[in-house]
């Protein structure tokens, strides 16, 4: 079977997939990631994962299986993207402060066997943050390329008081579910095939 292709430039997804012991190459999709009017957060991430996988598979034309994922941070049914500038980041952190939000990831695998996709949701609760803490966090390089304006695997983890569900999902790739998805299609991992 041809080498797995990861349709993502995310260093976090690269690291997580490497942890599974999967041999892969990176070929980022680079597609328009705009939210469509009336699109729910769940529909959005599923569409993005499918479009990323489909775009890369069609472009390559080599028959290699393609794995793509999309992660979004959701509060009050609103999608929080990557903050474009300081005040957008401040507004995001203020909105997350003292509250619970969802992180939803869709993972899609396209291969000669067709398309398989999964969705994973994790609930994340933030401490109550004052303006000074938000400003200090925004003074670091961490928030700017992260959905929701924080990185749970970095300093941003100190802002989180509770998590319900998959931690790796919040980082960008739910490991248990991805392992099962790959195993069901015969793609080798360091753990072998997943049961169930």
Q: Which residues contact 132 (CB under 8 A, 6 or more apart)?
A: none
Is the confidence at residue 196, as pLDDT, over 60?
no
Q: Give the pLDDT band (50/70/90) at residue 61.
A: confident
* Predicted pLDDT at 100: 98
Residue 3, pLDDT score:
82
Q: Is 114 exposed, middle or buried (0-12, 13-18, 19+ CB in 10 A)?
A: exposed
In terms of residues, how long is the chain?
A: 196
Query: CB burial class (10 A; 0-12, 13-18, 19+) of residue 115?
Result: middle
Q: What is the pLDDT of residues 21-33, one digit of tens each?
A: 999 999 999 899 9
pLDDT band at 192 (very low <50, low <70, confident <90, very high): confident
Interval 36-57: pLDDT, tens: 999 999 999 999 999 999 999 9
pLDDT class for 104, splitting at 50, 70, 90? Answer: very high
% of the chain at pLDDT higher than 70: 97
Q: What is the pLDDT of residue 2?
A: 61
Checking if the pLDDT of 193 tops 80, the result is no
Nearest CA-CA partner of 69 in 47, 99, 93: 47
Per-residue pLDDT tens over the stretch 105-161: 999 999 988 999 999 999 999 999 999 999 999 999 999 989 999 999 999 999 999
- State the Cα angle at 192 between 188 and 196, rounded to 5°: 110
CA atoms within 13 Å, Cβ hemisphere of 59: 14
Considering 27, 32, 70, 195, which one is annotated as catalytic?
A: 70
Higher-scoring residue by pLDDT: 65, 1: 65
Tokens of 162: 């509770």
- Concerning whether 30 is annotated as a catalytic residue, the answer is no
> For domain 4-184, which architecture applies?
Alpha-Beta Complex (3.90)
**Tell me, what's the pLDDT at 195?**
60
Is the pLDDT score of 96 beyond 80? Answer: yes
Rg (CA), the chain: 17
Nearest-angstrom CA–CA distance, 3 and 24: 6
């Amino acid at each position: 079977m041809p080498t797995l292709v990861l349709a993502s430039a995310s260093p976090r997804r690269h690291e997580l997939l490497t942890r599974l012991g999967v041999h892969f190459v990176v070929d980022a999709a680079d597609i328009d990631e705009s939210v469509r009017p009336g699109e729910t957060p769940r529909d959005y991430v599923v569409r993005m994962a499918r479009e990323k996988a489909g775009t890369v598979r069609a472009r390559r034309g080599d028959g290699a299986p393609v794995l793509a994922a999309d992660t979004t941070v959701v509060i009050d049914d609103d999608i929080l993207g990557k903050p474009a500038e300081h005040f957008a980041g401040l507004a995001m952190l203020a909105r997350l402060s003292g509250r619970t939000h969802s992180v939803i990831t869709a993972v899609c695998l396209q291969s000669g066997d067709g398309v398989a996709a999964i969705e994973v949701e994790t609930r994340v609760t933030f401490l109550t943050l004052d303006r000074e803490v938000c400003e200090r966090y925004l003074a670091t390089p961490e928030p700017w390329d992260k959905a929701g304006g924080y990185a749970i695997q970095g300093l941003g983890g100190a802002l989180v008081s509770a998590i319900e569900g998959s931690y790796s999902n919040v980082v960008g790739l739910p490991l248990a579910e991805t392992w099962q998805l790959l195993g069901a299609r015969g793609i080798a991992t360091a753990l072998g095939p997943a049961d169930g």
